[in-house]
């Protein structure tokens, strides 16, 4: 596993931890209004994680985890990330990408994993 892939994993772990903390605060508040358990098990964590990632990428260009890990997601064509690219990236990453990754797991995919190719994005290391 190359250094960039390790940094991506570190960033994702940090972002999951932050999302889990936010979800832990929001869930008790939502339980008062929404009684279906499946919503709190499936929908709420997904919406919180995707929402945090979308807002951070759209406003700051990187998530807290990516900032700590020293990486940044960029548009493969050069400009700013679009909202559509961000949504395509997270939806593909959390649905189809694990299957594609499993088929291609022996290949080096550090800068551009299947969900990056789908959304026309790439990940680069920042200079320290």
97 vs 107, more confident: 97
Range of the domain at 113: 3-125
pTM of the model: 0.88
User: Which is nearest to 101 in space by CA: 113, 92, 112?
Assistant: 113
Q: How many independent structural domains does the chain possess?
A: 1
Question: Which region holds residue 36: left if phi is over 0, alpha if psi is between -120 and 50, else beta?
Answer: beta
pLDDT of residue 67: 97
Q: What is the pLDDT of residues 51-94, one digit of tens each?
A: 999 999 999 999 999 999 999 999 999 888 999 999 999 999 99
């Amino acid at each position: 596993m190359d250094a960039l892939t390790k940094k991506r994993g570190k960033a994702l772990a940090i972002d999951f931890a932050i999302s889990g903390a936010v979800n832990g605060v929001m869930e008790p508040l939502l339980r008062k209004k929404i009684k279906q358990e499946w919503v709190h098990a499936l929908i709420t964590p997904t919406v919180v994680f995707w929402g945090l990632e979308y807002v951070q990428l759209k406003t700051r260009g990187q998530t807290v985890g990516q900032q700590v890990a020293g990486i940044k997601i960029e548009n493969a064509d050069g400009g700013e990330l679009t909202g559509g690219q961000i949504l395509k990236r997270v939806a593909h990453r959390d649905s189809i990408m694990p299957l594609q990754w499993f088929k291609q797991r022996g290949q080096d995919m550090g800068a551009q994993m299947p969900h990056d190719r789908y959304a026309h994005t790439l990940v680069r290391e920042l200079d320290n």
